[in-house]
Amino acid sequence: MKETRAADAGLPATQRPTIGLCTDRIEHWWHASHNVPQTYVDAVIAGAGGLPVLLPSGNTALDQMAFLAVVDGLLFTGSPSNVDPACYDGLPSAPGTLHDPLRDATTLPLIRVAVAMGVPVLAICRGCQEMNVAFGGSLHQAVHTLPGALNHPAGTDRPRVDWYAPSHDVSLEEDGWLRAWMGCSTVRVNSLHHQGVDRLGQGLHVEAVAPDGLIEAFRVAAAPGFTLAVQWHPEAAYATDALSARIFEEFGRACARYRAARHSDK
């Protein structure tokens, strides 16, 4: 089977890898709803060459294994909400902090199962934080308040047009995937987050670090399949930024390979 790339966006749906996107549980017009930003859907279609499907959060009737049996990859998205600190034995959040316990209850166990099965996983922003927690790590709840911390903008303190503009550099680890893909040691990324990695989870291998030492990307070292977590937002720049495009291309290729292997077993 031909490997999937961003240029393969014209493939028919039957040939595209099916990529599940986790969702936020929100209230919309007084109804419980499952939400995912359009940018992630666009990046899956045009950046990874995939067919996006939405994973409901908090649905007790959902069988994780049944869902994983029909997807070729998973994208854990960013979100305005914070992972509940109870999930990593952290201190209570500041008053007014937005949480999404139904998403926590869905994504944290799903990440562990998917990685163990070799399902390709790309985790972005909150998804990156979820992956760290899923592997036993902890989080800083307000990175911008840490002594000596670089300004990691959260978005709402600047004009919306600048939310996804390049914000700060990250150093790419010498033995990492990102360094190999880009052939350079430093890239500039956007930034839109409150939380960040504190204690790195077990078995996670650092891929990128901000100048203040904050871990900005990692992978699961012993994972049988593609697993990458990034703190920034490549979905907002896959059409214009080389690293963002490469992340989605590699994710799409991994999903296509997983699809081919899954169908060859039938």
Q: Catalytic residue positions? A: 125, 233, 235
Q: For residue 208, which of 197, 200, 216 has the smallest C-alpha distance?
A: 216
The helix or strand, by DSSP H or E, that contains position 138, with its residue range, turns out to be none
Structure tokens at 29: 């017009």
139/90 Cα distance (integer angstroms): 8
20/11 Cα distance (integer angstroms): 18
Residue 63's region, left for phi above 0, alpha for psi from -120 to 50, else beta, is beta
103/81 Cα distance (integer angstroms): 10
42/39 Cα distance (integer angstroms): 5
Q: What is the phi/psi pair of residue 150, to 5°?
A: -65, 155
